[in-house]
Chains A and B, each alone.
Chain A
Amino acid sequence: MDLRNSWDQWPDEHGRFGDFGGRYVAETLMPLILDLEKEYRAAKADPAFSAQMDDLWAHYVGRPSPLYFAERLTEHFGGAKIYLKRDELNHTGAHKINNCLGQVLLAMRMGKTRIIAETGAGQHGVATATVCARFGLKCVVFMGETDVERQKPNVFRMKLLGAEIVPVSSGTGTLKDAMNEALRDWVTNVENTFYCIGTAAGPHPYPELVRDFQSVIGKEARAQILEREGRLPDAVMACIGGGSNAIGLFHPFIEDDEVRLIGVEASGHGIETGQHAAALNGGAPGILHGNKTYLLQTDDGQIIDAHSISAGLDYPGIGPEHSFLRDTGRAEYLTCTDSEALEAFQLCTRLEGIIPALEPSHALARVSDVVTGLDKDGLLILNMCGRGDKDVFSVAEALGVDM
Chain B
Amino acid sequence: MPTSRISMRFDKVKAEGRAALVTYIMAGDPDLETSYDALCAVRDNGADIIELGAPFTDPMADGPAIQKAALRALANKTSLNDVLALAKRFRETDQETPIILMGYANPIHTMGYEAFAASAAEAGIDGTIIVDLPPEEDQPIRDAFAAHDLSVIRLATPTTHEARMATVAEGASGFLYYVAVAGVTGAGSADPEDIRAGVEMAQRVSGLPVCVGFGIKNGEQAAAMAKIADGVVVGSAFVEQARLATVAKTPQVTAEKMGLLARELSTALKGDVPA
Contacts from A to B (Cβ < 8 Å): 14, 22-32, 170-171, 176, 180, 183-184, 187-191, 284, 286-290, 292, 295, 297, 299-303
Contact = CB atoms under 8 A, between A and B. Distances in A.
A392 B154 CA distance: 49
Nearest to B109: A287
A301 B134 contact: no
B134 A300 contact: no
Given A27-B156, A187-B183, A289-B60, A301 B164 contact: no
Lowest 10 CB-CB distances: which A-B pairs, in order? A301-B110, A301-B107, A188-B183, A27-B155, A28-B157, A287-B105, A26-B61, A303-B57, A24-B132, A183-B60
Contacts of A301: 56, 80, 106-111
B179 A28 contact: yes
B131 interface: yes
Contacts of A26: 60-61, 131-132, 134, 155, 157
Contacts of A24: 105, 132-134, 137
A32 B164 CA distance: 11
A226 B202 CA distance: 58
A287 B132 contact: yes
Contacts of B155: 26-28
A165 B207 CA distance: 45
Interface residues of B, number: 43
In this complex, the member of B104, B159, B160, B168 whose beta carbon has the largest number of chain A beta carbons within 10 angstroms is B159
Contacts of B107: 300-302
B17 interface: no
Contact of B134 (A30, A190, A284): A30
Given A28-B182, A301-B109, A23 B57 contact: no
A25 B131 CA distance: 7
Interface in B50-69: 56-64, 67
A184 B63 contact: yes
Contacts of A288: 58, 106
B60 A180 contact: yes
A297 B110 contact: yes
A25 B79 CA distance: 23
A286 B159 contact: no
A25 B132 contact: yes
Given A188-B187, A300-B107, A301-B109, A27 B134 contact: yes
A5 B137 CA distance: 25
Contacts of B106: 286-288, 295, 297, 301-303
B159 A28 contact: yes
Contacts of A171: 57-58
A290 B110 contact: no
B161 interface: yes
B272 interface: no
- Grouping DSSP codes into helix (H, G, I), strand (E, B) and loop, the A interface class, with mixed when no group exceeds half, is mixed
Contacts of B40: none
A292 B104 CA distance: 13
Interface in B129-165: 131-134, 136-137, 154-161, 164
B192 to A, nearest CB: 19
B49 interface: no
A289 B79 CA distance: 21
A296 to B, nearest CB: 11
A250 to B, nearest CB: 26
A302 B137 contact: no
B74 interface: yes
Given A31-B164, A300-B81, 17 more contacts: A24-B105, A24-B132, A24-B133, A27-B155, A27-B160, A30-B134, A30-B159, A170-B67, A187-B184, A287-B106, A287-B132, A292-B109, A297-B110, A301-B80, A301-B107, A301-B108, A302-B56
A203 to B, nearest CB: 9
B190 to A, nearest CB: 13
Contact of B79 (A27, A183, A188, A300): A300
Given A28-B179, A180-B58, A289-B60, A188 B110 contact: no
A195 to B, nearest CB: 12
Nearest to B54: A301
Contact of A22 (B136, B154, B187): B136
A395 B6 CA distance: 59
B134 A25 contact: yes
A190 B61 contact: no
Contacts of B110: 284, 286, 297, 299-301
B60 to A, nearest CB: 4
Nearest to B156: A27
Contacts of A290: 132
B206 to A, nearest CB: 13
Contacts of B156: 27
A28 B259 CA distance: 31
Given A26-B60, A184-B63, A299-B110, A31 B160 contact: yes
A180 B64 CA distance: 12
Contacts of A292: 109
B111 A31 contact: no
Contacts of A295: 106
A302 B61 contact: no
B275 to A, nearest CB: 36
Contact of A190 (B154, B161, B182): B182
A271 to B, nearest CB: 20
B83 to A, nearest CB: 10
Contacts of B158: 28
Contacts of A30: 134, 136, 159, 164
A27 B74 contact: no
Contacts of B59: 180
25 contacts: A14-B136, A23-B134, A24-B105, A27-B134, A27-B155, A27-B159, A27-B179, A28-B155, A28-B183, A29-B159, A31-B161, A180-B59, A184-B61, A191-B182, A284-B110, A286-B110, A287-B104, A300-B81, A300-B110, A301-B106, A301-B107, A301-B109, A302-B57, A303-B56, A303-B57
